[in-house]
Structure 1
Amino acid sequence: MERGTPDGPVAKSALAGRIPLAVVVVDGAGLVSHWSVGARRLFGYAKEEAVGRPAGDLLPVHGALPEDREPHGAYDDGLGPDLETSLDGRISYPAAGRARLTEPEPGGTRADVLWWAYPLVGPGPERLLVLAADATRLTAPERPEWPERPEESEASGDLGREQVERIAPGFALHTDFPGADELAGRLPEILPSMSVDESSRIVAQILELGYPVLEFSQHDRVPVTPDWGVARRAERKARKERAERAAARGVPPSAYAAGADGDGDDDGEDIEYAAVRERLEFLNEVSGRIGSSLDLSHTIVEVSRAVVPRFTDVAGTYLREQVVAGEGFPEGPPDETTLWHRVAVEHTDEPGRWDDVVPVGESMPFPAHTPFFQCMTSGDPVLVPRITEEMGNAIASQFEKRDIRPLINHRSMLVVPLKARNVVLGFMILLRHKERPVFNDMDRVTGAELAARAGLVLDNARMYTYQESVADTLQDSMLPHIEPRMSGCDIATRYLPGTLLGRVGGDWFDSVKLPGSRTALVVGDVMGHGLNSAAMMGQLRTAVQTMAALDLPPEQLLRNLDDLAQRLGEHYLATCLYAVYDPIAGELHLANAGHIPPVLVRAEDGRSELLDLPTGAPIGVGGVPFESVRVRVAPGDRLLMCTDGLVEVRGEDIGVGLATLTESAAHPAASMDEACDTIIRALNTGGGRKDDVALLMARLNGIAAESVAHWRLAVDPSEVGRARELVREQLRAWSLDALGDSAELLVSELVTNVVRHSRSTRVDLRLVHAGALLCEVEDDDHTLPTLLSAGPDGEFGRGLRVVSTLAKEWGTSRTNSGKTVWFELSLPRR
């Protein structure tokens, strides 16, 4: 053993001794329910006298009982911690203390009692387990005699025999150690009147909270090492056997203790080994408890709960605000302007005591004079053995209108940085109650190692959270936000990523508004997965949007898309299904590039079918022709388009999935969203399907004939006035008189442009009343008009400027026979 001095450690030898432990159990009413032989020896009461009496009358465990009654002896000094708690199972950490007990009889001996109190929880009546020992045996010049009768043997521990200046009880935090099964098996011998179930429950809690230790130097803790629990080193067992053989030969114990067999230094090695082993086992346990999830908030809670109450009584975790927000932050150490976000506060105090003063979710800077600033700028732990009144006032000044001093003053504090890759992500403030030993240099090293491991886990969670946010943002930006109602149809969509670790992929859907109240519906799938596929998908989707706005026929659009994929790179392939719905004509115009066919559900009889389309080759193959087909549809029919991830399962024929898709699409549903959910559930996308899923469903409502008005006009200036009159009368018939002035003005400008500037031989005017008022002016000149800036004295250039200002939307497009200029006006609210 080594005992520290001002000039450094001094090597000492010690003889391993044994002292008995008194074992007492207290129930929820504060009454003694179990009283061991060791308790009878130490406190002087027989079991029959003690059981059923208030524990406060018998035990010097100040603070661990609901009220402290003075028992048969007086406690002269060194009472234990003031826990201010009760026996209702709410004690959340073990307590320890020391008391001097004077026997009431004249000439009674004086006992130096060390005690440990364990809170117990569970269905049984037991609420507190107390272990106690007489410390005077540690300083006795001779080894204590032990009873020969086995029924009087008690749980005991190996302790140093030499004279010591300071003795303090503590807890060696140790779980899952060799010998735990033996502890569970022998507990009935220690608590003879307890059932097996009760003893198992109590021993499990003892292993969780720790076993008692004696601290009698400035640097080392020596385990009490009960016979019924913690495993001994083989060297210690061998030394004991050699001591017994020496005693049998008549060798004095003092000579053997001085190292007659060369064993005098082994105890010092054992002590050092036990102290280091305790911390290594604690760090190993913490490492096993944290990092079970890549979720940042869950990881923070794991780290906080791993150290409370085993290593500390309070743990407050702060992270850079940018880390919590998933953002980057500038290089270099933080400064006084850096905001730190309080993400967790774990403690063993009564509920709510910390919540109002230091609530989770608050952000604040820390000035340079605080130990927190020193920790985060240096990247090293900062140890404050006791928070003085002056330091408490300085720290409390950071909390406006909240007095934190009662929570921190006179406590031991250790501030450890949470850093990874030499970057400080945050820090943890660890506080111990006044009753516990202060943090020491070994605790500083343990805290630094703990913070290093926790910092790496937090950084992994931070990077995962950041990458997940980037992936979600990228995928969200590439997938369109489709209006649920288009002209003549309703649309519902679903997108499901194939894997949790790959949130971006190449599947997409889209819809594009076309002239003539038509809508283009698109579903595509870039082969592969990840960012490369998502980037390719973004380029193809943009190209489809652009070419669809030019009103290209479906087969020509896929032809142009194939040429574009060839120019982008020969390693990219994609499938695509493109359909144009004309609600006035009641027709679908479709073309397929290697995609699975769509499903059409007939409203008339509820029958569903896979549309027979020319399959075509995937986009990117090159040199393959594409064909289109036209399919007649009725109002209420539903079109379902999806990617193969919905129907394809590895090891199964895709025909099985297509059949299930066709069947599930025909099921009636109250809404489009419910219909999509029914299909997703039927095909079990969360099971064996690992590919992305894009699903688009459109209900083809059509536009009734009475909602469409069409006129053919001559290319003559006199037709402009006639066009205004036709529009006014039609709007009156549709009860849209409020739109009359705006619609007449805009129609007049468009017809005038055709009469004045085009080489057309005809002018067609059409009004469509479907969700908005759509007006189209078509002629047979392919030259598209452009928006010009008209000067103060200019004669031309104001017509389209007026249209652009007054219309909700407007546009131009080429047709097979010429061009169309159109505009939309919002319907008046009713």
Structure 2
Amino acid sequence: MERGTPDGGPAARDAVSGRIPLAVVVIDGAGLVSHWSVGARRLFGYAKEDAVGHPAGDLLPVSGALPPGADEHYAVYDDLGPDLGSSLDGHTSYPAAGRARLTPSAGRGERLDVLWWAYPLVGPGPERLLVLAADAARLAGADDHDGARVERIAPGFALHTDFPGADDLARRLPEILPSMSVAESARIVSQVLELGYPVLEFSQHDRVPVTPDWGVPRRAERQARRRRAAEAAAAGRAPDAEAAAEDAEDAEDLEYAAVRERLEFLNEVSARIGSSLDLSRTIQEVSKAVVPRFTDVAGTYLREQVVAGEGFPEGVPDETTLWHRVAVEHTDEPGRWDDVVPVGESMPFPAHTPFFQCMTSGEPVLVPRITEEMGNAIASQFEKRDIRPLINHRSMLVVPLKARNVVLGFMILLRHRERPVFNDMDRVTGAELAARAGLVLDNARMYTYQESVADTLQDSMLPHIESQMSGCDIATRYLPGTLLGRVGGDWFDSVKLPGARTALVVGDVMGHGLNSAAMMGQLRTAVQTMAALDLPPAQLLRNLDDLAQRLGEHYLATCLYAVYDPIAGDLHLANAGHIPPVLVRARSGRSELLDLPTGAPIGVGGVPFESVRVRVAPGDRLLMCTDGLVEVRGEDIGVGLATLVESAAHPAASMDAACDTIIRALNTRGGRKDDVALLMARLNGVASDDVGHWRLVSDPSEVGRARELVRRQLRDWGLGALEDTACLLVSELVTNAVRHARGSRIGLRLVRSGRVLCEVEDQDPSLPTLLSAGPGDEFGRGLRVVTRFAKEWGTSSGSSGKTVWFELEPPRR
């Protein structure tokens, strides 16, 4: 853009553009200079070390630069515009600009004619004011030497979108803020553009955007100064002191900027890679943090045991150690690395490679350029894949990923040929990066390992329930909690009882963590033991409460215990502080919460428990769960129970589908933190035609009668293939009952429900035991025969005697 002279003629060429040398000064909230650019030193005459940390009012050639203070260096007689201090006084939210013609005090040099723009800064940093200043005398034709005004030149502001070249300042301003971090300089530039782009107003009509005039590039300028210094030395002249000072200052600025940039990079990487305890996500964060800012290719390898969340042998890795490639990040064209070095491959590394040197020494290995010979050696590990075009002649840095002096893995960093090679400073940066990444990876590894231990513990304590029991089908679900350390104290179980009955139990130890899980394991074992004794539900809970008192762990637990009798068609239930079960009626399809005496939780002590009986019909479904399924923080539990009752009534193709329907209905509410145990039983019942029951007397002749009764019943059921085995085992049990029974009554029962169940009852409470019978012993082999041929067998004692039972698996048709 050309500006016009008062008479309309063209202006001088060097005054056409607004490209002028700029001084940049940043002032903090205390009024002290925090940044003083080289342009500021050239314009105002103060070295950087004499400016930074000093009051701005003592340095800036503008009266009242910030807080009122001594401004003894300059006397202002500006009649061209406001000074900086008066313009910003009370208006710190708006930018200001002005022009000051200043007469220095005695001995302070020539008169200055300064154009300035001031931007108030807001944000988390200490910077509070940015000042851009320029020498108005550099603009030809601005004023004559007698002070007569040729034309008006004033600084101002405009929207940066008004000028096509306005982005130049946004791009170049950070270059004269070398001591600023990337984030700080970006913040300052964005505020400058938002408040207004600096412009020069000529004659109050034309506006020219101001862009920094860098003149000769700094590197070329330094080379020219060195050349002049060398020429002066060759001619015997004294070196230029000013040029030497500028060289030293430039070197200091560059070194300081490099250090600050690396520190900023490490801080940014640390913030990015510490956001998750998920191992795979952490690896991705580490890889993406270094590409492309620090390197062009980053390949991450970890020990296989680290990836699997397992422990590994102590000591230094060797040539047999397998390393799993977990991530490859690069700036090459997509897919170039995928086929040659696919993620997921495991491989060892020979001793002659720099990778082996890195993982055994635990120190970074720097290769300025990968030679043809080294490239061939590395490529020899990759059968049928030529990796040399990807690595040869590139700069390589291998950094170990370690924590607590243990090498977990390493990263291979490669730079393109066109990029500067890795140097010693990069080695230090890479080592620090690897140390921080290694610590984060180790935390993620330990979390994965502990989570695996907790899951293993939980799985070992939860039973693997058979889907079919006598007279009922069972489906279960367990959902871990969503909190860290998610292992909890929820459990479910089923126990086979005499008389084709089944005990169903759901419990919840209050709290989370390994201690709660351990307590849950103790209570579950106790329930199984007492259920095998065929204790009534209320008595079982009473004994369980006494046990919890004796354990002395100060834990509380809720428990719901139910006994299903498929022959009688009823449920016998007792509750210890647990949420009530849901019963879905097959005939009507309606569901209801069973009204049970609640009782106190296990561990309270001294509280009686009551039991109730509920009649059920074949096809009815019983649903038992822990409160984690229905309870949401901040919501009444009644809402969850209502949703549970409604979802349980929905028809489903299978038991598993019905469980999934309930889980989906309850989980959609959100906010669930606790673990969940769910048990659903379809109460199929056992028809009277599938039961054979007989009374025997305590006489040896009854053994043959028992065999005949069993043979006849099995033939009626079409299970003649089981006759011989069933008669042999029944003969052994009835013989023992006749020989050892104290009363005269013996009971024999056959039940067909999937398997064939045979029970022999007598009035002797003493349970039989396996004996070691010698070759000459006449007795002691009966239970060994039962053990050998029965699918499953067991014993239980009650108030009226004992029951010995066995099951046989019908042949498949």
Q: TM-score, normalised by structure 1?
A: 0.69
Q: Residues 662-703 of structure 1: CA distance to partner in whole angstroms, max 9, x if unpaired?
A: 333233333223333333344347523433322222111101
CA distance in 2, matches of 1:617, 1:180: 67
Match of 1:529 in 2: 512
Match of 1:59 in 2: none
CA distance in 2, matches of 1:612, 1:151: 80
CA distance in 2, matches of 1:565, 1:728: 48
Match of 2:406 in 1: 423
Match of 1:78 in 2: none
* 3-state SS in 1 of match to 2:242: coil
CA distance in 2, matches of 1:774, 1:461: 52
- 486, 494, 510: which one aligns with 2:493: 510
Aligned-pair CA distance for 1:416? 0.5
1:154-169 to 2 correspondences below 5 Å? none
Q: Relative to 1, partners in 2 of residues 1:596 and 1:155: Cα closer, same or farther, differing over 3 Å?
A: closer
Match of 1:330 in 2: 313
Match of 2:628 in 1: 645
Residue 447 in structure 1 maps to residue 456 in structure 2: no
Q: Relative to 1, partners in 2 of residues 1:810 and 1:266: Cα closer, same or farther, differing over 3 Å?
A: same
Residue 606 in structure 1 maps to residue 561 in structure 2: no
Match of 2:782 in 1: 799
CA distance in 2, matches of 1:343, 1:19: 52
- 370, 385, 393: which one aligns with 2:376: 393
Residue 432 in structure 1 maps to residue 415 in structure 2: yes
Match of 1:383 in 2: 366
* 3-state SS in 1 of match to 2:572: strand
The answer to whether the 8 A contact 1:766-1:777 is kept is: yes
Amino acid at match of 1:815: G
Match of 2:355 in 1: 372
1:305-384 to 2 correspondences below 5 Å? 305-384=288-367
Amino acid at match of 1:710: H
User: Between Structure 1 and Structure 2, whose CA radius of gyration is higher?
Assistant: 2
Q: Residues 610-633 of structure 1: CA distance to partner in whole angstroms, max 9, x if unpaired?
A: 222222221112222222222111
The answer to whether the 8 A contact 1:754-1:760 is kept is: no
* 3-state SS in 2 of match to 1:265: helix
Match of 2:812 in 1: 829
CA distance in 2, matches of 1:650, 1:771: 44
Q: Relative to 1, partners in 2 of residues 1:680 and 1:361: Cα closer, same or farther, differing over 3 Å?
A: closer
- 696, 707, 714: which one aligns with 1:724: 707
Aligned-pair CA distance for 1:501? 1.3
- 476, 479, 485: which one aligns with 1:496: 479
CA distance in 1, matches of 2:164, 2:581: 85
CA distance in 2, matches of 1:653, 1:580: 30
Match of 2:206 in 1: none
The answer to whether the 8 A contact 2:482-2:673 is kept is: yes
Amino acid at match of 2:752: H
The answer to whether the 8 A contact 2:508-2:626 is kept is: yes
Q: Relative to 1, partners in 2 of residues 1:402 and 1:690: Cα closer, same or farther, differing over 3 Å?
A: closer
Match of 2:616 in 1: 633
* 3-state SS in 1 of match to 2:186: coil
Q: Residues 711-764 of structure 1: CA distance to partner in whole angstroms, max 9, x if unpaired?
A: 112222222222222212111111111111111111111112222333341221
Q: Relative to 1, partners in 2 of residues 1:736 and 1:336: Cα closer, same or farther, differing over 3 Å?
A: same
CA distance in 2, matches of 1:147, 1:555: 105
Amino acid at match of 1:708: V
CA distance in 1, matches of 2:778, 2:648: 58
CA distance in 2, matches of 1:301, 1:322: 18
Match of 2:277 in 1: 294
Match of 1:773 in 2: 756
Aligned-pair CA distance for 1:383? 0.4
* 3-state SS in 2 of match to 1:343: strand
Amino acid at match of 1:315: A
CA distance in 2, matches of 1:651, 1:178: 41
Aligned-pair CA distance for 1:461? 1.3
Aligned-pair CA distance for 1:558? 1.0
* 3-state SS in 2 of match to 1:177: helix
* 3-state SS in 1 of match to 2:268: helix
1:384-783 to 2 correspondences below 5 Å? 384-569=367-552, 571-684=554-667, 687-783=670-766
Aligned-pair CA distance for 1:645? 2.5
CA distance in 2, matches of 1:422, 1:289: 23
CA distance in 1, matches of 2:510, 2:781: 49
The answer to whether the 8 A contact 1:570-1:620 is kept is: no
Residue 266 in structure 1 maps to residue 249 in structure 2: yes
The answer to whether the 8 A contact 2:740-2:764 is kept is: no
CA distance in 2, matches of 1:464, 1:686: 28
Cα RMSD (Å) of the superposition?
3.5
CA distance in 1, matches of 2:605, 2:167: 88
* 3-state SS in 1 of match to 2:802: strand
CA distance in 2, matches of 1:151, 1:758: 109
Aligned-pair CA distance for 1:401? 4.0
Q: Residues 516-557 of structure 1: CA distance to partner in whole angstroms, max 9, x if unpaired?
A: 111101011112222221111111011101111111111121
CA distance in 1, matches of 2:141, 2:495: 96
Q: Residues 576-624 of structure 1: CA distance to partner in whole angstroms, max 9, x if unpaired?
A: 1111000011011111112222222222222333222222221112222
Amino acid at match of 2:253: D
The answer to whether the 8 A contact 1:173-1:310 is kept is: no
The answer to whether the 8 A contact 1:257-1:264 is kept is: no
Aligned-pair CA distance for 1:371? 1.5
The answer to whether the 8 A contact 1:173-1:282 is kept is: no
Match of 1:277 in 2: 260
CA distance in 1, matches of 2:333, 2:165: 40
CA distance in 2, matches of 1:793, 1:438: 90
Amino acid at match of 1:370: T
The answer to whether the 8 A contact 2:502-2:564 is kept is: yes
1:235-254 to 2 correspondences below 5 Å? none
The answer to whether the 8 A contact 2:316-2:360 is kept is: yes
Amino acid at match of 1:437: P
* 3-state SS in 1 of match to 2:760: strand
* 3-state SS in 2 of match to 1:319: strand
The answer to whether the 8 A contact 2:623-2:679 is kept is: yes
- 180, 183, 186: which one aligns with 1:177: 186
Match of 1:66 in 2: none
Q: Relative to 1, partners in 2 of residues 1:655 and 1:349: Cα closer, same or farther, differing over 3 Å?
A: closer
Q: TM-score, normalised by structure 2?
A: 0.71
CA distance in 2, matches of 1:147, 1:381: 57
Q: Aligned residue pairs: how many?
A: 620
The answer to whether the 8 A contact 1:646-1:685 is kept is: no
Q: Relative to 1, partners in 2 of residues 1:787 and 1:158: Cα closer, same or farther, differing over 3 Å?
A: closer
CA distance in 1, matches of 2:785, 2:615: 39
* 3-state SS in 2 of match to 1:472: helix
The answer to whether the 8 A contact 2:483-2:673 is kept is: no
List alignment gaps of at least 5 residues for structure 2: 1-18, 22-137, 143-162, 174-179, 199-215, 223-236
CA distance in 1, matches of 2:601, 2:408: 48
Aligned-pair CA distance for 1:661? 2.8
Aligned-pair CA distance for 1:429? 0.7
Q: Relative to 1, partners in 2 of residues 1:214 and 1:750: Cα closer, same or farther, differing over 3 Å?
A: farther
List alignment gaps of at least 5 residues for structure 1: 1-17, 21-144, 160-171, 190-212, 223-253
Q: Residues 1-40 of structure 1: CA distance to partner in whole angstroms, max 9, x if unpaired?
A: xxxxxxxxxxxxxxxxx999xxxxxxxxxxxxxxxxxxxx
Amino acid at match of 2:404: R
CA distance in 1, matches of 2:218, 2:390: 26
Q: Relative to 1, partners in 2 of residues 1:776 and 1:667: Cα closer, same or farther, differing over 3 Å?
A: same
* 3-state SS in 1 of match to 2:437: helix
Q: Residues 191-231 of structure 1: CA distance to partner in whole angstroms, max 9, x if unpaired?
A: xxxxxxxxxxxxxxxxxxxxxx99979xxx99xxxxxxxxx
CA distance in 1, matches of 2:510, 2:684: 33
Q: Relative to 1, partners in 2 of residues 1:146 and 1:807: Cα closer, same or farther, differing over 3 Å?
A: farther
CA distance in 1, matches of 2:558, 2:368: 68
The answer to whether the 8 A contact 1:575-1:595 is kept is: yes
The answer to whether the 8 A contact 2:181-2:260 is kept is: no
The answer to whether the 8 A contact 2:698-2:741 is kept is: no
